[in-house]
Structure 1
């Protein structure tokens, strides 16, 4: 039997009726409540996160509450009580149990003295109603908070005085559902000014939100109301409109320029002839496309994108990372051919770590080129384009949305490049026929496939790429060459040689010095060495090409630990985002990959994959 609130309802009956009807039918609810409140339930759940504002603004507690899949923000208890009662009654009917997490902030933090030799604990007051399940949920919350790392300060868990316990006020309002109350010290605010420490605020929101999910999970397990594999599965299963607006804005900025085309010379062939005529003594003169983007204007737009209403700490983190990556790319474009360009490139792609350089040198030492090799049939750009269109058509037959375009271009150095939904082929491309399928599996079966699978996820971010995705993408693409049987010793040497060239460039070597290093010490032929060094010095010095070997090594380590490849086909992600992708999948926000790479179904692909899991080294991956 439900309890009746002693408060005269501050909410109109039609709203309560709509809430009850929606919940009974299993529908989502998103309604404004009062002047600045909101009720959001994206699916029926046996819990509700509650935050009462009492006229306060911009509290972290509000953001913690609104991160949940089921939350109510209201001005006061009079406004909230009838809504809580209506939700609780319906959820008890559906699940047999229901719990409230009431979250708010203490008025003050401990005053910190400037000369204090240490930073004191910060207070988190946690109380709960007496049911065993609720007490265990309280313990789960406390453990999560104590295990979380809030930099510099650790929590001190307290219980509120009985007369000051927020649960008492809920009881007085006639709300007798199981409840956990949390009040935390606002350590994210600066004591004097009241302004935020933004990073600390973000960390606290993420940690307290996670602790709340753990409490809900413990309650659901104890009451047998839900069967879940992880507490993170209790998060959002739908994007709010603010997420889609931010996603669209970020994507429009990312699509306003093509970073790699902007920093790639358009006269590679002529530059090679110029370099040869100088007896390889003087660096050639490279020409570039005019910069077609107003860097300052795009940066202004970039930092005007609002992330404060995403209501999801995970997505907030992903978009902030992407914002910072785009900022670095724009900054690099603004510093093309200047000394700072390479410094910003190092920030974007990282340095060449000693372990990676050692791996590259090992591959070069163990992958010797044969002294004599029979003449190998070659193909040009038109044969490459024809075969590429056939592979695109095959994917299109499997998935109608796979509408990639293949273009032959005069303004690229020899080779292939994917940008968005296009495969660009340099008119100067001449390659071994035996390598053709493998290279197309690299470009189409990985780069284009993840673009179109990412497009199907509902957010453009997954097609344009999460921050730092390129390393894993290139690692997967090189793996595709191996699994499809088209990996040669020369190709492995090229991947390793790029690392050596990047390391030399970052150590201050000139174009000519790096060219001599890869030809004289590592025995690359003139054309391959020039193309390799051109890529490393484009724009003034770009350390991007070290990511191929780094990414391949990351993928191999992942496979050796028993990891699966399927999540990587969902979109363009990095290894660091693997747990996030798993969580978003569990929450139902991501769908399984619509298309799987064709090379995984080739005759010996499974056998090659098992050898990698059995610790086949990179130097042993050549199949031709």
Structure 2
């Protein structure tokens, strides 16, 4: 067990970072108003949105970039001086501070070419390779898009009418959050100032007053925003010394968004159209990084059968904060995190099982972490410096079912799926022509825009 002096220094430095990052709101600083979308559609999707450096300058950051940069630099020096250059927890804390220094630069260059450079430093690129594999994220994204666009998808659709209003959605989510976290631990409220249908931050879920939801949308929000994003925040806040684990710099985005998508999958909350939307984001980032402008990316999805609304949404997410002209690939690359994080989390869990250390898996929920942090954090947990995660999804609290699920999936991956499919295709050819299992399920309505 480290000395009390060391622990107190660690906590003091951690609390300084928590306080310094508090006014930083990346998505708020680069969000677009509904009027931009209205003007774009009014042009028939042919005029680039009028969003440039001047537009972003009118959106206050809520902090002084130069002052915050100086304070982060001072904190960086104090971490090295007080904890030592070789201290393992100090290195994680220092890496997080350096991330926020890059975030300050990212937001100072909104609407400019340098924005894309900082975004790639923080979130990566669609041309990055999957850890431990040669495939790029773009290749994986395209493959997933193909899978979630197969004709079979239409045979799976069932009626999930979006007939739940915002007030009812708030009541339903509040009840579910109380059941999972305990009464009053998570706030759920109506909001008039968010662009998406719902969003989470800290210990709060906000629901757009103008939005409507299906029962499946509510289930997605419960596990994605609640169990993962809010759950890891609250677990981080309960850390006695490493309090920075409650805040999320971009370095942890992949594991967070990937785990949220994985939870949707493990709880059977997701559906093909939503999975396709997540996969489309990787393709959109790559197109924009290669120099396509806003209109070109928008038309790419429109020509592939994506609705005008969803084509705009996936394109807008990538170009917010960057340059709509496509110059130098100056775009926001955060949206690769969903697919990248999903794959790397699955590979981490499978590897932990194969390596005989499944006990490390619950540490995925200990706070805002990266996969590389986990072995060290587990060691510090054994020493009593890090507290075990309190809020854990059922399948991560008792790992038996998860172990079996990943065990079977690992074994199936050894099979030649092409040959297996060829075998069963001969049986399927004997089937009469079939209609969708749940005809007319979508009723012409778009899917909810859940982050």
- TM tier, shorter chain? 0.7 to 0.9
Kept in 1: contact 2:123–2:253 (CA 8 A): no
Matched residue, 1:596: 392
Q: Residue in 1 aligned with 2:291?
A: 508
Stretch moving more, 278-287 or 370-379:
370-379
How far apart in 1 are the matches of 2:246 and 2:31? 22
Taking a change above 3 Å as real, the CA distance of residues 560 and 599 of structure 1, as seen in their structure-2 partners, is: closer
Which is greater in Rg? 1
For residues 7 and 231 of structure 2, what CA distance do their matches in structure 1 show?
A: 27
The CA deviation at 1:432 is: 3.4
1:434 and 1:543 map into 2 onto residues whose CA distance is: 28
Q: Which has the higher strand share?
A: 1
Separation of aligned partners in 1, 2:124 and 2:43:
33
Identify the match of residue 423 of structure 1 among 205, 208, 211. 205
Q: Secondary structure in 2 aligned to 1:279?
A: coil
TM-score norm. by structure 2 comes to 0.77
Please point out which of 376, 394, 399 is paired with 2:179. 394
Counterpart residue number, 1:517 = 300
Cα displacement (A) at 1:263: 1.7
Runs of 5+ unmatched residues, structure 1: 1-41, 43-68, 70-235
Q: Is 2:99 the partner of 1:325?
A: yes
**Deviation (angstroms), 1:408:** 2.4
Does the 8 A contact of 2:123 with 2:250 survive in 1?
A: no
In the alignment, structure 1 residue 360 sits paired with structure 2 residue 156:
no
Distance 1:325 1:241, change over 3 A: same
TM-score normalized by structure 1?
0.57
Q: Does 1:282 align with 2:52?
A: no
Q: Distance in 2 between matches of 1:559 and 1:316?
A: 26
Question: Cα distance, 1:465 vs. partner?
Answer: 3.3
- Distance in 2 (CA, whole Å) between partners of 1:518 and 1:579 is 41
- How far the C-alpha of 1:555 sits from its partner, in A, is 1.0
Give 5+ residue unaligned stretches, structure 2: 130-135, 323-330, 418-437, 439-451
Structure 2 counterpart of 1:209: none
- Give the structure with the larger helix fraction: 2
2:340 alignment counterpart: 550
Task: Tell me the SS of whatever aligns to 2:188.
Answer: strand
Q: Note the C-alpha offset of 1:484.
A: 1.3
Q: Note if contact 1:321-1:467 (Cα within 8 Å) is conserved in structure 2.
A: no
Q: State how many pairs are aligned.
A: 379
Partner of 1:145: none
- Aligned counterparts of 2:46 and 2:395: Cα–Cα separation in 1: 43
Conservation of the 8 A alpha-carbon contact between 2:99 and 2:249: no
* C-alpha separation in 2, matches of 1:577 and 1:503: 28
- Greater CA drift, 549-558 or 238-247: 238-247
The Cα of 1:560 is off from its aligned counterpart by 2.2
* 1:578 and 2:351 correspond: no
Q: Helix, strand or coil for the counterpart of 1:407?
A: strand
- CA shift, 1:317, in A, is 0.6
Instruction: Give the CA RMSD over aligned residues.
Output: 2.7
Deviation at 1:331, TM superposition (A): 0.7
What is the distance in 2 between the residues matched to 1:461 and 1:518? 39
* Distance 1:417-1:612 versus aligned 2 partners, 3 A rule: farther
CA distance in 2, matches of 1:338, 1:517: 24
Corresponding position: 1:465 with 2:248: yes
TM-aligned CA deviation for residue 517 of structure 1: 1.4
> For residues 239 and 484 of structure 1, do their structure 2 counterparts lie closer, same or farther at Cα, with a shift above 3 Å needed?
farther
Contact 1:351 1:543 (C-alpha < 8 Å) held by counterparts: yes
Structure 2 counterpart of 1:297: 67
Matched residue of 2:189: which SS?
strand
1:245 paired residue number: 12
Cα 1:440–1:599, aligned 2, differ >3 Å: closer, same or farther? farther
Q: Which of 297, 305, 309 is 2:82 aligned to?
A: 309
